[in-house]
Amino acid sequence: MSMVHQGGCLCGQVRYRTTAKPLRITVCHCTFCQRLTGSAYLVEPIFSREHVIFERVPTTTYDHRSDTSGKRVTLHFCGKCATTICLDLERFPDILGLCGGTFDDPNWFDRGADTCRHIFIRSAQNGVVLPPGYRLYEEHALGLDGVPNQPAILAHALVKAR
């Protein structure tokens, strides 16, 4: 399987390609990602920064201060059609989190339990199904001190309800 995969915005002005497989896949249920996507969660393949190459028109950016860490989160989006392409996180300077739905083929990357984790499930919307066998984190996978948080792993699917 080729490691080069392409994606871009709705209007086609912003294009990118990746040159490696993702380090991991994060499914984020935080309220910030809910607003960012206008949906229940963000599917975010995480890449080493050097494995993402932007082409054509540069992105426009918006800086946000994380409610949890206080660190900067920069959204990169198309200045014409406003499609959000990726997140650049001050807390994790060596990576980029791409918005999974912006790939030309958004199904190419593995979402299996070995590569995928769900974070901020405390904020998951009612009706979201949390899958069995996956690492589920109440908040982030890493504490602010860099120490890994302990995930929950369900034996059976759970429908989130408050």
5-159 maps to CATH 3.30.70.1290? no
- Per-residue pLDDT at 72: 96
Q: What is the Cα 59 distance to its own chain's centre?
A: 17
CB 33 within 8 A of CB 139: no
**What is the residue extent of each domain of the chain?**
5-159
CA 65 – CA 96 distance, rounded (Å): 17
Predicted confidence pLDDT, tens digits, the chain (162 residues): 568 999 999 999 999 999 999 999 999 999 999 999 999 999 999 999 999 999 999 999 999 999 888 999 999 999 999 999 999 999 999 999 999 999 999 999 999 999 999 999 999 999 999 999 999 999 999 999 999 999 999 999 999 997
DSSP run (H or E) holding 34: helix 31-37
CB 41 within 8 A of CB 29: yes
CA 29 – CA 120 distance, rounded (Å): 5
